[in-house]
A and B are shown apart, each in its own frame.
Chain A
Amino acid sequence: MFIGAQPPFELTNEPDGTKHAIKDDIQITVLPDVGDVELKHRVGQQTQGLEQSRWLYGKLGELRLYVNGTHVIITKKEMIPTFNRPTIQKTIQDIFKHIKPAKNKRGEYVIENEKNVERLAEFLTKLIEYEKFMARRQSEYIIQKALES
């Protein structure tokens, strides 16, 4: 299992040379007048980790296009996929926002409804796997930041 793995874009070509990359509500279209164009995925995976990084990669003449989620990079550089700590951190922060734990009189955090318990279970599952991967990457810092947010 990969944590943070991105589903791929659907890559299609039209007869006139137009290329599309589509995922969810994101569509990127490259018209044939650009010239030398490639659209593919650039993938990174590791030993000692569960994470896979998958970016849409576009070669548009001299320019390079990289898309991961809503993050779009346009550059002339050849780059490699980054293993995206902020994405995981944001996931943890988002889950805490949804769970909205409340403090009881003893100062303990209480989760109030069943759906939130399910969300917490999902969070803990991700956290356990994430911890394995990030054990030597100061994950305590990330969790602390999530709790503070």
Chain B
Amino acid sequence: MVATVLIREWNGTTAAPTQTNKQGGTVRFKNANNSSVDTAARLIIPTANREYSFAKWLQLNISVAPSVDIDNLQAYTDGAKGWQTGVKGWYMVRSTFELPAVPTETNDPPTQYTTQYADLFTATSAARINMDAGLSGPYTTTGDIGDWLVLVMEVEIGSTQGTEPAETLTFSYDET
């Protein structure tokens, strides 16, 4: 059977997390710990330091199991940031879900969960993010698979007000 694999955003607390399918959908960076795609809790152009969004936690999930297994999970962007100069994207990979929060805004690059983020747009099809280094496959049954991709958006002083264009995040995997 062909597997169905979802891209899910995790919110809420570690004790009571919620998951929202974002396959083909929008992950909205904002100043709140939720998955709503709205204009509430917007990022504010800062007057000191920088503005970071709440961390976005994304993980793959098998909702229909494959015939045999799934492995080799990876993620990447097109490498071309479409956002204005002062708006940046950052990522890290984690093997345990932690409370989505805002990184300390005096740090640049952002550091959170004892780890420093990396530039999201350096992750390209030629330099993909390994998404099952910590929680490794192969995966044979339904459920959450691989590590979490944690994303943060940064807005710098002097940025221009407005909505940034959408960027696409691609996940790939091998299925048997």
* CB-contacts of A1-20 with B (<8 A): 2, 7-8, 11
A133 to B166, CA, bound (A): 11
What are 15 residue pairs bridging A and B, where the CB atoms are less than 8 Å apart in the complex? A41-B174, A41-B175, A42-B72, A43-B174, A45-B170, A45-B171, A45-B172, A47-B7, A47-B25, A48-B24, A48-B166, A48-B168, A49-B24, A80-B74, A133-B24
Looking at B22, B24, B165, B175, the one whose CB has the most chain A CB atoms below 10 A away is B24
**Does residue A103 face the partner (Cβ distance < 8 Å to B)?**
no
Q: Is the CB of A136 within 8 A of B172?
A: no
Chain B residues bordering chain A, tally (CB within 8 A): 28
- Does more than half of chain B's interface fall in helix, strand or loop, or is it mixed? loop
> If A50-B24, A80-B125, A136-B165 touch, does A44 touch B170 (CB 8 Å cutoff)?
yes
**Does residue B2 face the partner (Cβ distance < 8 Å to A)?**
yes
Q: Which of A11, A43, A83 contacts B173 (CB 8 A)?
A: A43
* CB-contacts of A131-149 with B (<8 A): 133, 136
Looking at A11, A40, A44, A57, the one whose CB has the most chain B CB atoms below 10 A away is A40
**Does residue B119 face the partner (Cβ distance < 8 Å to A)?**
no
What band does the interface of chain A fall in when counting residues whose beta carbon is under 8 Å from B? 20 to 34
> If A50-B24, A80-B128 touch, does A45 touch B5 (CB 8 Å cutoff)?
yes
Chain A positions 69 through 104: 1 when the CB is less than 8 Å from some CB of chain B, otherwise 0: 000000000001101000000000000000000000
A7 to B2, CA, bound (A): 8
Chain A positions 37 through 72: 1 when the CB is less than 8 Å from some CB of chain B, otherwise 0: 011111111111110000001000000000000000
- B124's nearest neighbour on chain A, judged by CB, is A80
